[in-house]
Structure 1
Amino acid sequence: MSETATRFYVVKKGDNLNKIAAIYGLTLDQILKWNPEITNPNVIQIGQRVRVSAPESSGEYQPFPGADFFVPDTASPIIEAMGNRLIEEHCSAYPGGPDDHWSDADRASYVKWQQKLGFSGRDADGIPGRNSWDKLHVPAVLTE
C-alpha cells in the first residue's frame, strides 16, 4: 500500500482544524483542499471525519480483507473507513458515527448498503463480501 493512502481523523471535543493540521504536520489549506465539504473552517462537529492525508485521488482502494475479518473482536481503521463510506452512501445505522471496532451498527449499515445494491435475504446479511466491498470503494488506509 502506498504512503499516500487516505487517513482520517475523527473530531473530538476541543478540536479545531488548526489543531488537527498541526498534529499531522499539515497546513489549514491542505486540510480544506482534502475536505471540500467543510465550507467554514471555524465550524466542525464532534464525530466528523476529516481527511488528513491524500484523498482517494491516489486511486487506491482498500482490498477486501475477507469475510472472517468482520467479527466482534476486530478493531481496525479499515472498519472506520468503511463506516465513513457507508455514511457517504446514505447507508448509515450509526447512532453517533463509526469507529474502528466492528459492531452491530456496522453490520446494520452494511445491510443497507447490500440492499441498495439489490441484494436481499441471506445475501444482505451485513457481512461484507468481495462484490459489495469492491463497489463501496473504501479508500485505502494505513494500518500501522
Structure 2
Amino acid sequence: MKKTVVLTSTLIGSLLAGHAASAASYTVQKGDTLWKIARQSGTTVAALKQENGLSSDLIFPGQVLRVNEPNKSNETSSNTYTVEPGDTLSGIARKFSTTVDALLKLNPSITNPDFIRAGQKLQVAGEQERSNTYNVQPAAVPTSGRYIVQAGDTLLEIANKFQTTVDRLLALNPQITNPNTIRIGQAIKVAGGTTDVREAKQQVSAANSAATESSASLADRIIDIAEKYLGARYLYGASPSRTDVFDCSSFTMRVFSEAGISLPRTSTAQAQAGRTVSFNQLQKGDLVFFDTDSNGTINHVGIYAGNGQMINATVSLGVAYSSLTSSYWKTRYVKAVRVIN
C-alpha cells in the first residue's frame, strides 16, 4: 500500500511540475487589460481566461495570472502565421524572435511593410538562401551609375552596398518621395557628381516642403469636415450615405470620402489601411483605433485632431471630441495609421 501511495504521489508531483513548467505568472499592473497581457505574452484572451478560470474580462491591479507559454511547435511547424486583426509586422517579428527585414525577405509579396491584412498568411521561418531572389548580388556599379532594385531590397541596404547614405540616394533620386517604398525593377541612381547632388537636394527640399504643406492643409480640411457633424446622433450600422446619424467607422468613412480619400467600411479594415505610426508621432488627421471590449479585436476608430484630442462617433454622445489621455481611451488604445500622404 505504501509503495502504491509513493508512486501515486510521485506521479501527481511530476504532472504538477510539468504543468508549472509550461506556465508563468504575471502580476496585473494598473491600466492592464486581458487583451494587452495576451499580446505581450504571445497568447490569446480566451486562453488567459481558460487558464485562470475567469468568467469575464474584468481584472484588477495586483491580481496574479497564470500565462501559458505559446505552443511554439504548433506555431512554427508549418513556418507560417495567419495575420490577426490589429497585428503589425513589427509585432509579428517580435512574436517569432525575428526582424521586420527578415519577414519582408521571406514574404516578397509584401510591398509595403506598414500594410498587412487580417487573414493574410505570412512565412515566419525558413532558409532565405533557398532563393537567390532574396540576395542582392554584389555586382559593380554600372557605367550609368544606376542600380536595379531586387526583391527584398531596402534603400538602406542599397546605400550600404554602394558605401553611401540614404540621404545621398534621396538627393540623387528626387522621384523617391517615400524612402520606405521602392519597387522591384526600379532604376535608382547610386553615383553622381557634386553638382548633381546639390541640384537634386534642392529639388527634394522643395518637393518635401510642398508635400508637408499639402498634407497639413488636407488634415485641416478633414478636421473641418468632421466638425460640421459634431452633435450628430450615434446609430450602429448606420449607412455611410447618411449624415444625420453615424457609427464610428461610417463617420470616418464619410469624412475622408468628402476629402477625396476612400476608406473601408469597418474599423477593423480601416486599421489595415495607410501607414502605422506610433502614439508619440500622431499628427492631425491620423486615424486612431481602440479595443473597447478588451477582447483582442479593434472595434472603434476616431480622427486625431491634435493636442491629445480626437473627433469620433460615440454611443453616448454621438459625434464629439474625446481626450486620448482620459483613463477610458488611454487603456483601450491599440494603434494609429496615417492615410494622408
What TM-score, normalized by structure 1, do the two folds share?
0.35
Q: Give the number of the structure whose alpha-carbon radius of gyration is greater.
A: 2
Which protein is richer in strand relative to its size? 2
